[in-house]
Amino acid sequence: MAFSSTFSVTPAFLCDNIRWFPHPSHMHQAVNARTRLRPISAKLAEKAALRYKKLGDSDLEVSEITLGTMTFGQQNTEKEAHEILSYSFDHGINILDTAEAYPIPMSKETQGRTDLYIGSWLKSQPRDKVIVATKVCGYSERSSYIRDNAKVLRVDAANIKESVEKSLKRLGTDYIDLLQIHWPDRYVPLFGQFFYDYSKWRPSIPFVEQLRAFQELIDEGKVRYIGVSNETSYGVMEFVHTAKVEGLPKIISIQNNYSLLVRCHFEADLVEVCHPNNCNIGLLAYSPLAGGALSGKYLDLNSEAAKKGRLNLFPGYMERYKDSLSREATEQYVELAKKHGLTLVQLALGFARDRPFMTSSIIGATSIDQLKEDIDAFLTTERPLPPEVVAGIETIFKRYKDPAIL
């Protein structure tokens, strides 16, 4: 991992599998304090740096924030991307998330640009200090331009191999730390859809074939670990069972949507499946701020922040956060945050941070100011959130269960 130390100020029995590592930029403060014989309280020390957790069954120790990069090449220039990356890693983040499909919204003209920006930044970084997570597209009839000779994208051996080779070239590296399936090869409800449509079942690439393709890449040293994204309990169990029976690589992570506005899909049964005592799959939660909706900026659609936000820049994008009860629920969370002296961002990110099944929250930002606010929310918001705050969240949740369902 990126940063480590031999001392810890947090008792192990309070942290479970969490380890606390002071960031190098704060080490001189700790040393000077010890020299002056001034004690550092545990509470203050905990705010000095991000925490790190082991990702599933792997040996990856990942920061509780993962830097999301899907705006690089669309909303962010290469220079801005480098500044965001450097700020993130200077402040303790050690894992970044990208995908062959990025930037988002997807287009033939910009596809792969995010990786190129990351690759040019990686040239100046110690490779072993950066955990690179990327994703291979699942089934798609609209994104065939991503492959050299394919009318439909599939998660078969040929597609996976081509995806990895191209990703490695764009990123300028010879291995990927975590390769994830962006969405399943089979039909599942995706990106705001909630209920399974019985009539949409279709034949798909067998789980064993997918895992064998990953095994080959792992044997070649091009991929270290594998994971899934936008997956269901059925999919996770099939991958885990197939790996066990066939002696193939086990998935270590799941990257799914999770926030104050999107909870039920994961909490209903994936929590049980992914539990450390069951399948031990680490959650990398995307959109903990619900595409920016939980910053509160879209409550006033005429504000400058709202006009510049991606939900308005790209018509139809994440419309579930605008054309639903999400707005009404967000207003309730704003009031709860104010009642307890918090910002909405602090409430939303503090909630995601404290979930017992959370390994890391994926945070995207189009500016350093946004990124600083998000990182500070992790470090300055009381850990864990006070019981009265949690009770307030649950009261609102009981009334607005997943209000983004259209």
Cis peptide before 39 (omega within 30 of 0): no
364: amino acid identity, one letter: G
Residue whose C-alpha is closest to residue 118's, from 164, 50, 181, 168: 168
Provide the token pair at 146.
């991503």
Query: Is 298 in the active site?
Result: no
What Å distances lie between residue 9 and 6, 34, 349, 355, CA to CA?
A: 10, 13, 23, 21
Task: Provide the phi-psi class of 232: left if phi over 0, else alpha when psi is between -120 and 50, else beta.
Answer: beta
If DSSP states are collapsed to H, E and C, what string results for the chain?
CCCCCCCCCCCHHHHCCEEECCCHHHHHHHHHHHHCCCCCCHHHHHCCCCEEEECCCCCCEEECEEEECCCECCCECHHHHHHHHHHHHHCCCCEEECCCCCCCCCCCCCCCHHHHHHHHHHCCCCHHHCEEEEEECCCECCCHHHCCCCCCECCCHHHHHHHHHHHHHHHCCCCEEEEEECCCCCCCCCCCCCCCCHHHCCCCCCHHHHHHHHHHHHHCCCEEEEEEECCCHHHHHHHHHHHHHHCCCCCCEEECECECCECHHHHCCHHHHHCCCCCCCEEEEECCCHHHHHHCHHHCCCCHHHHHCHHHHCCCCCHHHCCCCHHHHHHHHHHHHHHCCCCHHHHHHHHHHHCCCEEEEEEECCCHHHHHHHHHHHHHCCCCCCHHHHHHHHHHHHHCCCCCCC
Q: Is 77 left (phi over 0), alpha (psi -120 to 50) or beta?
A: beta
Q: Which residue has the tokens 């005592």?
A: 277
CB 51 within 8 A of CB 42: no
Among residues 102, 225, 321, 400, which one is catalytic?
A: 102
Distance CA 261, CA 256 (A): 13
Just list the catalytic residues: 102
